Amino acid sequence: MCVGSRRWLCKNGDRLNRQLSFVLGSIFCLFAAQTYVFVLIPLAAAEQRLPGIFIGVLVGVSAGIGLVSDVLVAVISDSIGRRGPMIAGAACGVLSGILFALGSDFPTLLTGAVVFGLAMSLAIGPALAYVTEASTPKDHARVQGYNGAVQGMSALAGALLVGFAVDHFGTRASALLGSVLMGAALILSYQLGETVQRMPAPRTPRRLAGAYVSAARMLVTRPPLQLASLVSLLYGSVVFVIGNAFVPLYIVRDLGQSAILAGVLLGGRNLAMTLVSPFFGRIVERHGLLATMFGACIVAEVGVVLTAVSGSPAFLFAALVLQGAGIGFTPAISNILVTSATERRERALGFATNSLAARGGSLISPLIFGAILQVADMHAVFVAGGLLGGVYLVAMAGRIVSSGGAILPIHGGVAVTDDRLR
């Protein structure tokens, strides 16, 4: 019997229920592995006494891989379906964990990071597109709220797991648990049905290059995608670059605390993400998409600024919880914006377009932060992160003002826009 918060899952029949369960389970494993690896990489690099700029390269290289491959994956996914790329990505993730376990030097760690970046590029975009297609439009905002909650729970699980594993098994042996998570994603992805009618995939270099032109055109001409990219940039900066990479390094190396404590502190942030995410649909219905987006991003940015002045684990925990409360809505906000600006036949390309700008920021910012760490200290890195987040907020406000606030509220669970935003 379907009661309470699960009633929405039962409206569309058992098949839809199963497909959503499988894809959300796969997303859980993918994002848990992503958190796990992003925390593990700087700890492994610090264990080998690699300089700060090398840490920045290891953190940023997966974004660089995505910058090159996301659009190609999207074109293939829109042509042949979501399931195949998701399976291939999870398989690459299993391989990356093995490479990290063998990582006794910088080249091996770099190879593992490259393979992991390819795994994320193959799996995540198609998985997010699948969620939009495995739910009805009227349930979309609610489903995306649950999607955000799943991502928050996965980040919580990944952070706690990596802290425990590193303290008990060391950085190299604990990398194999990342392979286990990706293996679970592989099994779940294999259970999925397909949501895309198969079409001939573009095979010539000219057609594939045209996909990048299409992505650039979408980003330039569709303001919802521009806002989604800015939200994703802020999310990536707060969660992956500052939170998952440099905060654990600060806790273990500078504060002299254990990896378990680092996992617990990050877990507090991720728990806050999980707790607020299910309220996304209700809050957007009451306050509108723009107010929810801007308010959530401001809260997250305040959390980053407080991180820059933290000097104790207790204060850092409070700042991280505030970050989690702010970024808990951002995955759903970004997904709603992308969906509102794209049709199904271009949905994966829309998600790839959204990630294109975000990947660029996630590639450059770790290199900048790593260089800052090389010449200064971790507090300077956090200050830089706060300033960068402020730039994203100003850009969001400028785009909203220039469009005349033309994003309409949520109606019936579907984000809609007027012609000025198409």
The pair of structure tokens assigned to 141 is 């905002």
| 413 pLDDT above the threshold of 50 | no
pLDDT score for 9:
41
CB 235 within 8 Å of CB 334: yes
Statement: residue 352 has pLDDT above 50: yes
Q: In this predicted structure, what is the pLDDT of residue 91?
A: 94
d(CA 408, CA 416): 6
Question: For the packed helices 106-133 and 83-101, what is the interaxial angle rounded to 10 degrees?
Answer: 160
> Per-residue pLDDT for 241 more than 80?
no
Work out the pLDDT band at 118, boundaries 50, 70, 90: very high
pLDDT in tens, 297-332: 888 888 888 888 877 888 889 988 988 888 888 878
The average pLDDT across 223-251 equals 82
pTM reported for the whole predicted model: 0.69
153-187: per-residue pLDDT in tens?
887 888 888 888 888 888 888 889 989 999 999 99
What letter represents residue 114's amino acid?
V
Choose between 420 and 25: higher pLDDT: 25
Range among 70-79, 119-128, 194-203, 401-410 rated most confident: 119-128
Averaged confidence pLDDT in the chain: 79
If pLDDT is split at 50, 70 and 90, which confidence band does 422 have?
very low
Q: Which of 6-10, 43-47, 192-196, 319-323 is modeled with the greatest confidence? A: 319-323
Give the pLDDT confidence of 353-370 residue by residue, as tens digits.
Answer: 887 777 777 778 888 888
pLDDT at residue 246 greater than cutoff 80 = yes
pLDDT at 418 over 80: no
Q: What is the reported pLDDT for 207?
A: 63
- In whole angstroms, what is the distance from residue 174 CA to residue 81 CA? 33
Q: pLDDT of 191-216, one tens digit each?
A: 887 766 665 555 556 666 677 787 77
Sorting pLDDT into bands at 50, 70 and 90, what band is 115? very high
CATH of domain 12-194+205-421: 1.20.1250.20
The Cα 162–Cα 196 span in angstroms is: 36
Q: How far apart are CA 321 and CA 330, in angstroms?
A: 15
Provide the greatest CA pair distance for the chain: 60
Residue 8 clears pLDDT 60, i.e. is over it: no
